[in-house]
Chain A
Amino acid sequence: MGERLVTRGFVGRRAAPERGQRVPPGQYVTDDFPVLSAGPTPRTALADWTFRIEGLVGQPVSWSWPEFSALPAREYVVDISCVTKWTKLDTRWQGVSLDTLLEHVELDSRAAFVVAFCDGGYTTNLPIADVLNDRAFVAHGYDGAPLSPEHGGPARLVVPHLYLWKSAKWVRGLRLMERDEPGFWESFGYHNRGDPWLEERYSGD
């Protein structure tokens, strides 16, 4: 690699780097909400949409859209960080806690990991502790309006304490597992857990 040519006058879109506790290392704050995906935006009709919890549970459970929408939901205001280095502060969501969802199933004692599966085939994996105690929710609203398809609507997983690739868009359910099963990016060069505060971006970090 040769020496880098600095382009006179180029700064880029970043806001001034923030000091203090809110912005994880190596991140810059953005006011935008970049739309990034690994495939076409799915367009599942709400009449066909279901959310399922299956795997190591006593009985799998499934909600239709009207049923899911009726579940107790609350507002979450959280910061989100993408592994591509942008962080957005104070994003406002409306969603259902994973604690609420998991109350509807009987977890097998062997259930240690969760895989979130989505329209379009995307998956991501998490240890179960990362989704309990209000650490994760399924969002169906953003900024006071129904969650738009480009941002994962009708519903997406949001796990704010981990990099945003864990906040799976177009989520259709969770599978409880005994063994960890690396998801789409976790099986392809990215870190298995993805904690932005430890800069766990890549496998081997």
Chain B
Amino acid sequence: MDPRTLDGNAVAGTLNEIFGVEMTTAVGRCAHCGNRAPLGALLAYVGGPGIVLRCSVCSELVMRIMRRPDGSYLLDARGAGYIRI
């Protein structure tokens, strides 16, 4: 257990900025273990070079986000089998 772990809900503002809609209630399926959960329930690691969202069941990477210097975002969602929006 890492005391710095947060929930996906903590990055709701950034997800909203990227997707243009509220995303924490969108359900995602972990590509590794198949667990389905709202993005708000993912484990979030922030403060480093980017935001990393992991499955709360298997801890594998579901999504990562970093901000480019021009203000655009990179999003890697390969760890999500799908996201239902």
Contact = CB atoms under 8 A, between A and B. Distances in A.
Contact of B74 (A39, A121, A188, A201): A188
A39 B64 contact: no
Dominant SS at the B interface? loop
Interface of A: 1, 34-41, 83-84, 121, 150, 165, 185, 188-190, 201-202
A40 B47 contact: no
Interface stretch (B7-15, B16-24, B33-41, B49-57): B49-57
A36 B48 CA distance: 5
Contacts of B48: 36-38, 84, 165
A118 B19 CA distance: 32
A121 B68 contact: no
A35 B48 CA distance: 8
Contacts of A188: 50, 64, 66, 74, 76
A34 B5 contact: no
Contacts of A40: 1-2, 5, 43, 54, 59
